[in-house]
Structure formats: structure tokens, C-alpha cells
Chains A and B, each alone.
Chain A
Amino acid sequence: MSLYLVQNQSRTADPTPYESKLAKAIEQVFGDGGHSLEALVDGLNEIGIHSPDGSPWSQDSLTAEMARLEQSVNGGR
């Protein structure tokens, strides 16, 4: 019987190009030291990654988008 060894258990599909780009930009902002929501919004807007409707991020739009994107499977809570 083969052993179970699956790398990605928290998602059912690969990230979309949009998700990958957004994740990379978020890590960049965090890596520069900005860990507050305000710093994250400003940082993403500076990089030029926009919200899905094309407008700059606001705290509300980013919070809402993160709530949408966090959904997961397999033991996530």
C-alpha cells in the first residue's frame, strides 16, 4: 500500500495568477516591516497591485478580499 504524501492539503486547486501575485506582494510588504493593516494597504497600493475592481485598496476592500480568499479544506479552522 502506498503511503500518503501530498504537499498541498489546504487547497483544492493551484493559486490563480492573481492570487500568486497578491501573495507575493503581501509578503514583500510584510518583509519590509509593515505589519499593520494600514501599512499593508499602503504597501500594496505603492507596489501597484490593485483590488479586483481596479481601484486602489482600502482597509475595507482588503479585509473583505482576504476573508473571501482564506477559505480552505482539510482541517482548516
Chain B
Amino acid sequence: MARVYSPGALSAEQIFATGMRDQWHAVCPSDWVERGAIRKLERLGEQWVLYRQSDGRVRMLADRCPHRGAPLSQGMHLGDRIACQYHGVQVGSDGTVLSVPGMPGCNLEGKKLVRSLPVQEVGGAILAWFGTDPDVEPAPLQIPDPLAADDVSAFLCYVEWDAPWRFGLENLLDPMHGAFLHHESHSMFGGAQSARFRIRETDRGFFFEKTDQRGVNFDWVEFNRTGVDWVDLEIPYPSTAGPGGPFGIVGMVTPIDADRSAVFFWRYRRVTGWERDVWRFLYRTTLEDRHWAVLEQDRVMLEHMAHDADQAENLYQHDLGVIRLRRMYKNQAEEQAKALTDA
């Protein structure tokens, strides 16, 4: 019988550590996979190969030849398929073995033996559906509104951190750190260093926001589940950044493995016409470096936290967003682990 590799029945702990399944995750910037290129990546603790076909479409397969398990990412791009470098076995975009040159007519041919993930490109990034059942259609992906709006201009900043994905996401659900960690920055020097927060439900997630201050610092964040998990937040610019008001961030954090994460920050602003062009010019020449200094403050903090930092915390009112997020993911990990065991 033909065998298809799968990670098997993951435990709830493994799912919590390496990321939720049955949803879309951002994988990498689009320009990491040029036409005709092959790229190896680790995401959610598994090895993948991405390639862009000659027709421009991106494909994502498990990085494992169905013959002897060699990495397909070492193989050759043949326009619409990859030929394994080890014995020449050709695998198509949906994971079907198209040819076994060493033994023509071999019964592997025509069988779908490699996991293939549905992919979409959004805002200059490749997103993939990490389903547990290859026969189940992916859920619809609703694009984060700022990335689809005509009056919004955005730049993707992509980084990889030596910190668990949950630290990155929890950091975004914790607006209060802006007034402390980022106090010495171009955008978060103002505002009070104490606050009361509230959770406000929406039909796709929730807001976690200060009740007593808005538009002064990092004062609110919206967590959204629209097929992909993402946050939206807003931070004021100083007057030197010109017209257009605050900048926003659409943020996604994808697990590379249990210990490392891929961070996607689309920095955006509601600007059109000359205001858009001037902001983009300033972003490229001066603002990107200042945004970077802020992002580095986050990275250094999160990378230096113990991996079990969340095992003996003493939380207070400002941490309700984090608590809510954790509870949601822990429950989901339990449910997914149970479904995998039952399957």
C-alpha cells in the first residue's frame, strides 16, 4: 500500500507549541519565491518546499519525496513540477507522482503521495492552509480589511525571531508595553503610563483597548479570526511624518517551530495621492529605520524571555487580552488533538 507521510496524531501540547491547524497562516514574503525558484521552509514544525510555476502560481508541498523521503527542495524545477535530485521522481503541484524515470510504469505513478497545501498571495505574502484532513476544503480566507482597502498604502516588514509564536502574538495583545518598552521611540513617547482596559466583542474576534486614552500611544488592538488570525492596531506618528494620521499594523505571527516564529507586520496608513507618495518616500528613506528600532525592542525582549516564562506569572487587569487569547488557543489545541486522535 502506498504511504503518505504525515506528522500523525499531534498532542494538544504539540499543537499549542507549533501552531493551530485547520487555518491559514502567512508563510513568507511573495518575493522569496520567484518564478522558477524553489524554496525550503520550516513552518509549524514541518519541512516544506515552495516553488513558483512558470505560470506564476505558487505551490507548497511537504519537503519529502514519496520514494525514499529525500528533500524535494534539493530537486529540479521543471516548470509545473519538481524532479527529486536523488532518483528523478517527478512530483506535481497537487502532490501526485507524475513520473518515475527509473522505472517507467511503476505503480507510484498517478498516485497522490505528497501533502500539498492550498496557497494564496495577500499583500505581498504567501499564505497557506494547514489542514489536518487533505480531503477537506480550506475555509474561506477573508483578507484583512486594511490590506484590501483602496485608500490604504502598506509596506510588509517580515522578520524571524528566536521566540515562540505565542510570545509574538501575546506581545501584540498587550498594548501597555508601548508606554514602557517603547517609551524611547519616535511614536510611543506620549500618554499615560497607567490605564484601565476592556474587552469589546466583535463578530470576528475582539478589541482589547484602553478605556481612558485613545490616539496617543499604542492604545488599542483588534484580534481577528477570518480564516487567518491577525491583529490590527494603530499608533500615532509624530508631526514630522506629515499628513495621513496614525499608522496601523496588520500583524500575523506564524510558528516556524516550537521555539521560533515568522513575524509579518504590514505597516499601513490611510493616504492617497501626493500624501501617499510622500509617506512612502519618507518610509523608505527615514521612517523604516525608526520602525525597525521599535521592532528590535520587541525582539530583544521576547528572545530573552525564558521559554517557560508564562509558567509562573502574576497577571493583572492589563493582561486580560493575553488571557483571552491563551484560553482560546489552548481550547482549540485540545479540540484539534482530540479530532486527530479520533480520526
Contacts and interface: CB of A to CB of B under 8 A. Distances in A.
Contacts of B278: 26, 40, 66, 70
Contacts of A31: 238-240
Contacts of A63: 273-274, 277
Contact of B241 (A11, A30, A40, A74): A30
A32 to B, nearest CB: 8
B167 to A, nearest CB: 14
A75 B124 contact: yes
Contacts of A73: 31
A40 B241 CA distance: 12
16 contacts: A1-B42, A5-B159, A5-B299, A8-B288, A10-B283, A26-B282, A27-B241, A30-B239, A40-B242, A40-B278, A70-B280, A74-B124, A75-B155, A76-B154, A77-B123, A77-B124
Interface string B69-86: 000000000000000000
A75 B277 contact: no
Interface of B: 29-31, 42, 123-125, 153-162, 238-243, 260, 266, 273-274, 276-278, 280-286, 288-289, 292, 299
Contacts of B162: 3
A56 B59 CA distance: 52
Contacts of B238: 31
Nearest to B123: A75
Given A9-B288, A27-B240, A74-B155, A69 B281 contact: yes
Interface in A11-50: 11, 15, 19-20, 22-24, 26-28, 30-31, 33, 35-37, 40
Given A27-B240, A70-B280, A75 B156 contact: yes
B25 to A, nearest CB: 16
B194 to A, nearest CB: 29
Nearest to A6: B159
Contacts of B154: 75-77
A35 B157 contact: no
Contact of B160 (A4, A8, A15): A4
Chain A: interface size category: 35 or more
Given A19-B285, A27-B286, A77 B274 contact: no
Contacts of A11: 284-285, 288
A55 B64 CA distance: 62
Interface of A: 1, 3-11, 15, 19-20, 22-24, 26-28, 30-31, 33, 35-37, 40, 62-63, 66-67, 69-70, 72-77
Contacts of B274: 37, 62-63, 66-67
Nearest to A20: B285
A26 B124 contact: no
B52 to A, nearest CB: 16
A15 B242 contact: no
Contacts of A77: 123-124, 153-154
Nearest to B293: A7
Contacts of A28: 240
A19 B274 CA distance: 16
A72 B285 contact: no
B180 to A, nearest CB: 23
A55 to B, nearest CB: 19
Nearest to B280: A70
Nearest to B157: A9
A30 to B, nearest CB: 4
A33 B239 contact: yes
A6 B280 CA distance: 18
A10 B161 CA distance: 19
A51 B113 CA distance: 61
